[in-house]
């Protein structure tokens, strides 16, 4: 829009005969053309503003295109915290403080060992498709589908899992977390996975 501001003084000068009432037939024709140009300029200004807004949205989409991988340190801490929170009531039933501490330490170590076995990448392609590859120990699988940006969230719709159709398609959501994503898998019971961009 700022690109068209220099044209405004020209429009004012061309409109001056109308304002003063001093205009002959030739000027009236010119004035009609100026009115048409002014209307066209207003329409063009609105169109440019709409295109700039659309370009800004597209720029936001491009910034998240790429490959993200599981932040294993964050995943380990989140899994330990979640495991201990879920086990709190059971741990509180253990009367012996030493036994309770040992049980808590065993749960924590088991959660850490479990978390260390996990690997995941998520690739968001510019064409709106994604591939999520997950590896746990020796087992590996992939999920494919489409993605779209919805504000600060990314909605992933899984259509294939390990080459087989997902029927009905399964939806997952990720939120932007600085330069990373927080993925909420459908079966994670409130647990999220932080994925860093490669």
Structural domain containing residue 17: 2-63
Residues 20, 56: one domain? yes
> With 60 as the cut, is the pLDDT of residue 65 above it?
yes
pTM of the model: 0.64
User: What pLDDT, in 10s, does the model give residues 91-104?
Assistant: 999 999 999 999 99
The neighbour count for residue 174, using CB atoms within 10 Å, is 27
CA-CA distance, 116 to 49, in Å (whole number)? 49
Both tokens of residue 171?
Answer: 């939806």
- Mean pLDDT score of the chain, rounded to an integer? 81
Backbone angles phi, psi at 102, to 5 degrees: -65, -45
| 127 and 185 share one domain | yes
List phi, psi (to 5°) of 57: -65, -40
How far apart CA 129 and CA 44 sit, in angstroms, is: 34
Beta bridge partners of 155: 148, 173
Quick check: 35 pLDDT over 80? no
183-198 tens-digit pLDDT: 987 666 778 899 999 8
Question: pLDDT tens, 50-64?
Answer: 454 455 445 455 478
Q: How many residues does the chain have?
A: 198
Asked whether the beta carbons of 144 and 129 are under 8 A apart, the reply is yes
pLDDT of residue 28: 67
116-122 contact pairs (CB < 8 A, 24+) = 116/72, 116/76, 118/70, 118/72, 118/75, 119/69, 119/70, 119/72, 120/69, 120/70, 120/193, 120/195, 121/67, 121/68, 121/69, 121/70, 122/67, 122/68, 122/69, 122/174, 122/181, 122/183, 122/195
- Residue that has been written with the tokens 């036994």 in this structure: 99
Regarding whether 95 and 53 lie in a shared domain, the answer is no
Which pLDDT score, from 0 to 100, does residue 152 have? Answer: 80
pLDDT > 90 in the chain, percent:
55
Single residue among 12, 44, 63 that ends a domain in this structure: 63
Query: For the stretch 37-49, what's the b/e string if a residue is b when 16 or more beta carbons lie within 10 angstroms of its beta carbon?
Result: eeeeeeeeeeeee
- Separation CA 133–CA 69 (nearest Å): 9
Do 50 and 69 fall into the same domain? no
Looking at the structure of the chain, the number of domains it has is 2
- The enclosing domain of 75 has a CATH number of 2.40.128.300
Is the same domain home to 105 and 172?
yes
């Amino acid at each position: 829009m700022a690109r068209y501001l220099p044209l405004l003084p020209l429009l004012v000068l061309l409109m001056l005969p109308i304002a003063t009432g001093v205009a002959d037939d030739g000027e009236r024709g010119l004035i009609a053309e100026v009115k048409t140009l002014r209307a066209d300029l207003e329409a063009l200004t609105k169109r440019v503003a709409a295109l700039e807004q659309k370009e800004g949205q597209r720029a936001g989409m491009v910034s998240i295109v790429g490959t993200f991988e599981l932040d294993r340190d964050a995943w380990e801490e989140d899994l330990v915290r979640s495991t201990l929170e879920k086990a709190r009531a059971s741990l509180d039933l253990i009367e012996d403080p030493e036994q309770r501490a040992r049980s808590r330490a065993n749960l924590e170590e088991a959660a850490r060992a479990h978390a260390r076995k996990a690997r995941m990448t998520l690739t968001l392609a510019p064409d709106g498709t994604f591939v999520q590859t997950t590896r746990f120990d020796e087992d590996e699988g992939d999920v494919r589908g489409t993605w779209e940006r919805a504000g600060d969230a990314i909605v992933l719709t899984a259509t294939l899992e390990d080459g087989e159709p997902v029927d009905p398609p399964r939806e997952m959501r990720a939120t932007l977390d600085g330069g990373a994503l927080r993925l909420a898998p459908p079966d994670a019971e409130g647990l999220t996975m932080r994925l860093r961009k490669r």
